Amino acid sequence: MAWLKGGTAVCNPPPRKVKRPYRLVLLGAPGVGKGTQAELLAEKLGACQLSTGDIFRAAKSLDPGERSPAMTAALEYMQRGELVPDDTVVGLVTERAGCLRCESGFLLDGFPRTAAQAGALEALLGNNGLKLDAVLSYELPIDEVVARLAGRRTCPGCKAVFHLQNRPPKVQGVCDHCGGALYQREDDRPESIRVRMAAYEKSTAPLAQYYRDRGLLIPVLAKGAPEDILQRTLKALKGKKAGH
C-alpha cells in the first residue's frame, strides 16, 4: 500500500521474518517472463515486489486530491502519450524511499530504465545506508521472444490472454470465459515485436553497461519453464554471494 499510494500510506507487516533480505533490480525485454519471475522471487525470497507500472495504474484510480505532485505529473505525460521523464520517475520512487528500507528487501521492476535513473537510485540507496545486491537481466534470443508473443491471443471482452501453444483455448479462436472472439494485438505481431525489441535493446544497453561496470549485472537465460528459470536465478544469486 505504501508503494502504490505513497504519502502517509503504510504497508502490512511482512508475513515472515526474512533471514537474508535481498535488494534486487530486474531487467528484461517484453516477452521474457520477467513479471512471472518477479512474482516467484518475491514468494521465494520474501521480498517486496515494487513495480513502477503498479504505481501508474494505481494513480489512475485515485482522486486527484490523493495524488502526489509526481503522480499527477506522470499521469499528465502518459495521457499525452509521452514518456515520463527521468526526474518525474525518480520523484515517484523518492516519495516511496521507505519501501526501499523494508526489512524484507525488495525487487524493483520497471525502475530504473535509464543510466540516469540508475545513478539516482544509487544515490537514494546510499542516503539510506543501503546498496543493491544484484541486477538480474533476463535474456532470450529474439526469435524465441517473437514465438512467445506472436502466439498470444486476447479476448476483447474480458481481456483474458491465451497462447496458441502454451495455453490454447478449448475452442480455437473462442474465449473460454466469455465466448468472445480472440484476436492478435497489434503489438504481438512479429514485425511489431522486432521493432519493440530493437528499441528496448538500444535504450537498455547503457543501463546494462552501468551495472556491468559496477559488478552487479547477472545475465539469466529466460528459457524453459518458470520454475526452471527461478532455480537458475537462485543459483546465480548464490554464486554471486559466494563470490563476494
**Catalytic site residues?**
34, 113, 152, 185, 196
Half-sphere exposure of 142 (CA within 13 A, CB side): 12
Q: What is the DSSP string of 191-205?
A: HHHHHHHHHHHHHHH
- Residue 38 φ/ψ, nearest 5 degrees: -60, -45
Phi-psi map region of 124: left, alpha, beta (phi>0 left; psi -120 to 50 alpha): alpha
- Alpha-carbon distances of 27 from 1, 86, 98, 188, rounded to whole Å: 23, 17, 22, 20
Q: What counts of helices (H) and strands (E) characterise the chain?
A: 10, 7
